[in-house]
Structure 1
Amino acid sequence: MQIKESSTMYDVIIVGSGAGGGMATKILADSGLKVAVVEAGPYFDPKDPEQMTQLKWPWESPRRGASTVRPFGDFDSAYGGWDIDGEPYTNKDGSNFRWFRSRMLGGRTNHWGRIALRFGPRDFKRKNEDGLGDNWPIGYEDVRPYYDKVDKLIGVFGTNEGLPNDPDGFFLPPPKPRLHELFYIKGARKSNIPVYPSRLSILTKMINQDRGICFYCAQCSRACMVYADFSAQTCLIIPAQKNGGQIDLFLNAMVREVTTDEEGKATGVSYINKEDRKEYKLKGKVVVLAASACSSARILLNSKSSQHPNGLGNSSDIVGKYLHDSTGASRAAFIPDLMNRKVSYNEDGVGGMHVYSPWWGDNKKLGFPRGYHIEVWGGMGMPNYGFGFNPNEFNKFFGTKVGGYGYGLKDDVKRYYGSVLGFGGRGESIAMKKNYCEIDLTKVDEFGIPVLRFQYKWSDHEHKQVKHMQDTFEELVHNMGGEALGAKPTKEQNYGISPPGWIIHEVGTTRMGNDPKTSVVNKFQQLHDTKNVFIVDAGPFVSQADKNPTWTILALSWRTSDYIVEQLKQQNI
């Protein structure tokens, strides 16, 4: 098969345009380097009238807003999901890993929850506390300057609370709690669970002329037409282009492998153009992988050569190993005191929680390692049938018929509108070598590229942690005078823990370390085996922490980008 090779020599080729790839694009382009960005999906700009879904009604969708095409609803800006036609993956030994991919410029930053939490000092050195997993080769003080820069560049609201492992930052004013969140605060305080303003990457005041301010439509998942919330393309890539950055976008381009020369040094990437199904090659001095933890591992494992017979960067046989995702569990409850609410005011707020609870427990007393934070949802969202109550659940509790058609349905909707509140726990799992992804040599995707196969099972550590979540949720519901909807998950149901991958926080497949025999990249996310290849997604994470990973991806990508610029100037790569 003939492969068309570009004659352009790029300073840097970046694979992926999400948090890590977007940040690398901006920093490297702003430094005067010529950058190629290779993205597996199409161009996306939420300001474009043809692509904008914000402020549309359910009836404007042929599916009435349902999630039959996009997993988070027809208006969600996620092009992709856990299952994509023509792009399969497999599981082995009874595993049920669920792999979410977002094929679009900006990647998964278009529809994430915008929860922007820093890892704390303890999060980088957890092995010192419980002996599990490994410490990072870097600490909080190494990353702190870049967290500060990300706060100031992108914007995050919140408050400085002086918490030792939930570090303070540079915060915009947070929105006030809504009524359901005031009920949560009251219930949490009865159990001595702390509650603080959330830390979300949404602008509550102007920070530059390129972006607007949140107007409380609560539709961040649709991507913001005024760029008030953070997405990689709207806040990093597009501004870098406007500032004169030398950036070429290669869209709908599925990367097959990183190409190498006879010395094993990277020379660029090979990709399949989704539109003409032909293979192309780009040439670059440096290759930066930011395709997501599992996608970057897949590219490395498929990049085999005589110099790298086990896959690029895989002399240690660690690529794909130590895969781990956040734990997740949830409950919902009916709060009678929230019935019959007046709806003559706008309580939408931002597209996410206004308050949250960081981890508060003492693991030595609780009998399980690590912790979790609690996310809260509720309020008066867009009404639709079944939007906030399940008639069967209400009938079970109250012995009345709820729902139906016509005026009866309207009356029930008005009575129960805004009376349901829910919790989500998001916790830290333990990174283990036995949880991994590998190449399935028996299967290829529609582009002829071998797919990934997953081996992943939760351990007793995670099950005990999620049991604590469920016990806590029950207590919170009781404190609020509510009625839990649905039965409490049992031990036989693994306490309702989400399948691995379901929380979409997968990390650790190209772990960072000082020893090339037990890690894939060094402390600057540079391959031990090939000095001109870097990884700036969540693959290098040694551990997850009980926080969402995006803010740390952004900070580490900026740190790595500065290092790349320095190394190019010194002609070390």
Structure 2
Amino acid sequence: MQIIESSQVYDVIIVGSGAGGGMATKILSEAGLKVAVVEAGPFFDPADPEQMTQMKWPYESPRRGANTVRPFGDFDSAYGGWEIDGEPYTNAEGSDFSWFRSRMLGGRTNHWGRISLRFGPKDFKRKDQDGLGDNWPIGYEDVKPYYDKVDKLIGVFGTNEGLPNDPDGFFLPPPKPRLHELFYIKGARKSNIPVFPSRMSMLTKKINSDRGVCFYCGQCSRACQVYADFSAGTCLIFPAQKNGGQIDLFVNCMVREVTTNEEGKATGVSYINKDDRKEYKIKGKVVVLAASACSSARILLNSKSTQHPNGLGNSSDIVGKYLHDSTGAGRAGFVPDLMNRDMYNEDGVGGMHVYTPWWLDNKKLDFPRGYHIEIWGGMGMPGYGFGFNPNLFNQFFNLKVGGYGNSLRKDVKKYYGSVLGFSGRGESIPQKNNYCEIDNTTVDEFGIPVLKFNYQWTDHEMKQVKHMHDTFEEILHNIGAEPLGDKPGKDENYGILAPGKIIHEVGTTRMGDNVKTSVVNKFQQLHDAKNVFIVDAGPFVSQADKNPTWTILALSWRTSDYIVQQLKQQNI
């Protein structure tokens, strides 16, 4: 197969344009470096009328908004999902890992929940508390200056509460709780469960001329046409281009491998152009992988050479190991007091206005680590598969509702907005035997060997999720709500969602000081190739009970500063 090589040499090649790649693009290009961004999906701008889904009605979709094409609904801005035609992955026997990929400029940051939580001091040193897993080689004090910078650059609403492991930040005003959230607050506080304003990256006030302010349409998952919510494209890459950054975008380009020379140093990347199906090589002095934890591991494992026979960066045989995702479980209930509500536009951001961070002492429990609680409900835009579902009421409450015509319209109005739901998102313990590897029997449509997953939950995670469900039922009882469905038991693994379903996978290229037990150093630099860096969630040693995006952003900024410094000193 003919490979087309470019003669141009970039200062930095960045693979992936999500949180880590977007931040690296902004910092490195604005430092004066010539940057190439290689993205596996198409260009995306939510302000482009051809790509915009915000403010569209369900009837404007031939599927009425159903999730038969996009996993989170027809108007969700994710191009991709857990299953992508032509891009398979496999699971070992007994493993059920679900791998979500978002193929587009900005990656998953276009449609994520935008829950923007800092890791706390304990999260970096968990082994010191419970003896499980490993400590990070860095601490909160190393990352705090960059969390502060991310807060100020991107914007996040919330309140300073002085919580020891949920650090305060620089917050914009939070929106007020809506009616269903007031019910949650009432029920949670009856059980001494704390509730605080959520911390999310939507602009509730103006912070710069590049972005608008949230107008409370509640459709952040569709990506914002006024750039009021955070995505890497609109808030990092576009402003960097506007500020004169030397950035070349290579979209619809699937990276096969990092190329290396006889000294084992990276020389660039090879990729398949999805439009013409030809393979290309571009050259760079530095390569930054930000393709997502599993995709970056896949690229490294496929980057075999005489100098790196086990894959680039894999002399330790750790690439792909210690894969872990958030635990997840959910429950919903019917709140009779929310029946027969007046119909009105329930203003709010696309997500929760309040949340519950982890509040208990694990020494008094039968499982390690913790979880936070996310809340959903209210009168969002109805669409196919969302909102009022008469089958649930008939099945669980033996109510004769629904039907056709006027009776259906009457019951929709009666029960619309009367369901309140909770989602638990918790921390799992990293296990070396949870990993991804190359499946040498299967390739994708571009001829690139795919990943094979090996993953099992442990008793730690099962017990944690059981506690989630016990908590959910207690809160529903306090509210006077009727649970929808039965609480899952041991035979159902207490309802824990399959690994990968929460889309928080981390740990495949873990950070450490010991080259035999880690892949990158504390600046996310490969031990085996000093001019290769990883700025997605792969280097995470552990994951915390928080969403990883804010930490990806902070660490990517920290790594980017280090790259600039090392280039100036001619160390790479």
* 1:342 aligned partner: 342
Say if 1:388 and 1:419, in contact at 8 Å, map to a contact too: no
Say if 1:348 and 1:379, in contact at 8 Å, map to a contact too: no
Letter of the 2:308 partner, please give it. H
* 1:491 aligned partner: 490
Letter of the 2:253 partner, please give it. A
Map 1:252-331 to 2 at 5 A: 252-331=252-331
Could you give the per-residue CA deviations for residues 374-393 of structure 1, whole angstroms, max 9, x where no partner exists? 00000001124553343233
Letter of the 2:125 partner, please give it. K
Structure 1: 4+ residue segments shifted above 6 A: none
* 2:479 aligned partner: 480
Q: What is the CA–CA distance in structure 2 between the aligned matches of 1:268 and 1:347, rounded to whole Å?
A: 50
Letter of the 1:141 partner, please give it. E
Letter of the 1:88 partner, please give it. P
Relative distance call for 1:514 and 1:386 in structure 2 (3 A) is: closer
Letter of the 1:503 partner, please give it. I
Unaligned stretches of 5+ residues in structure 2? none
* 2:441 aligned partner: 442
Q: Displacement, 1:394?
A: 1.5
Q: What is the CA–CA distance in structure 2 between the aligned matches of 1:397 and 1:102, rounded to whole Å?
A: 36
SS of equivalent residue, structure 1 residue 141 = helix
* 1:170 aligned partner: 170
Q: What is the CA–CA distance in structure 2 between the aligned matches of 1:430 and 1:385, rounded to whole Å?
A: 37
Could you give the per-residue CA deviations for residues 226-271 of structure 1, whole angstroms, max 9, x where no partner exists? 0000000000001000111000000100000000000100000000
Letter of the 1:46 partner, please give it. P
SS of equivalent residue, structure 1 residue 415 = helix
Q: What is the CA–CA distance in structure 2 between the aligned matches of 1:41 and 1:362, rounded to whole Å?
A: 44
Say if 1:264 and 1:307, in contact at 8 Å, map to a contact too: yes
SS of equivalent residue, structure 1 residue 562 = helix
Letter of the 1:454 partner, please give it. F
Q: Displacement, 1:361?
A: 1.1
* 1:250 aligned partner: 250
Q: What is the CA–CA distance in structure 1 between the aligned matches of 2:8 and 2:238, rounded to whole Å?
A: 22
Say if 2:64 and 2:384, in contact at 8 Å, map to a contact too: no
Q: Displacement, 1:399?
A: 3.3
Q: What is the CA–CA distance in structure 1 between the aligned matches of 2:102 and 2:157, rounded to whole Å?
A: 26
Q: What is the CA–CA distance in structure 1 between the aligned matches of 2:307 and 2:396, rounded to whole Å?
A: 66
TM-score scaled by length of structure 2: 0.99
Letter of the 1:75 partner, please give it. F
* 1:52 aligned partner: 52
* 2:470 aligned partner: 471
* 1:535 aligned partner: 534
Q: What is the CA–CA distance in structure 1 between the aligned matches of 2:380 and 2:428, rounded to whole Å?
A: 32
Could you give the per-residue CA deviations for residues 332-365 of structure 1, whole angstroms, max 9, x where no partner exists? 100000000011x321300000000000111111
SS of equivalent residue, structure 2 residue 374 = strand
| Number of residue pairs the alignment of both structures matches | 572
* 2:519 aligned partner: 520
Say if 1:42 and 1:104, in contact at 8 Å, map to a contact too: yes
Q: What is the CA–CA distance in structure 2 between the aligned matches of 1:384 and 1:40, rounded to whole Å?
A: 30
* 1:39 aligned partner: 39
Q: What is the CA–CA distance in structure 2 between the aligned matches of 1:431 and 1:64, rounded to whole Å?
A: 41
Q: Displacement, 1:563?
A: 0.1
* 2:450 aligned partner: 451
* 1:97 aligned partner: 97
Q: Displacement, 1:396?
A: 4.2
Letter of the 2:358 partner, please give it. W
Say if 1:12 and 1:33, in contact at 8 Å, map to a contact too: yes
SS of equivalent residue, structure 1 residue 12 = strand
Could you give the per-residue CA deviations for residues 19-55 of structure 1, whole angstroms, max 9, x where no partner exists? 0000000000000000000000000000011111100
SS of equivalent residue, structure 1 residue 324 = coil
TM-score scaled by length of structure 1: 0.99
Q: What is the CA–CA distance in structure 1 between the aligned matches of 2:385 and 2:128, rounded to whole Å?
A: 47
Q: What is the CA–CA distance in structure 2 between the aligned matches of 1:23 and 1:386, rounded to whole Å?
A: 36
* 1:65 aligned partner: 65
Tell me whether 1:225 sits opposite 2:243 in the alignment.
no
SS of equivalent residue, structure 2 residue 112 = coil
Percentage of identical aligned residues: 85
Q: Displacement, 1:103?
A: 0.3
Q: Displacement, 1:398?
A: 4.0
Unaligned stretches of 5+ residues in structure 1? none
* 1:133 aligned partner: 133
Tell me whether 1:142 sits opposite 2:142 in the alignment.
yes
Q: What is the CA–CA distance in structure 2 between the aligned matches of 1:488 and 1:390, rounded to whole Å?
A: 19
SS of equivalent residue, structure 1 residue 28 = helix
Relative distance call for 1:392 and 1:64 in structure 2 (3 A) is: closer
Relative distance call for 1:91 and 1:571 in structure 2 (3 A) is: same
Say if 2:66 and 2:384, in contact at 8 Å, map to a contact too: no
Map 1:169-208 to 2 at 5 A: 169-208=169-208
SS of equivalent residue, structure 2 residue 10 = strand
RMSD: 0.8
Could you give the per-residue CA deviations for residues 413-442 of structure 1, whole angstroms, max 9, x where no partner exists? 101011001000000000010000000000
Relative distance call for 1:322 and 1:8 in structure 2 (3 A) is: same
Q: Displacement, 1:82?
A: 0.2
Could you give the per-residue CA deviations for residues 433-475 of structure 1, whole angstroms, max 9, x where no partner exists? 0000000000000000000000000000000000000000000
Could you give the per-residue CA deviations for residues 481-508 of structure 1, whole angstroms, max 9, x where no partner exists? 0000011111100010000000000000
Letter of the 1:572 partner, please give it. N
Could you give the per-residue CA deviations for residues 96-153 of structure 1, whole angstroms, max 9, x where no partner exists? 0000000000000000000000000000000001100000000000000000000000
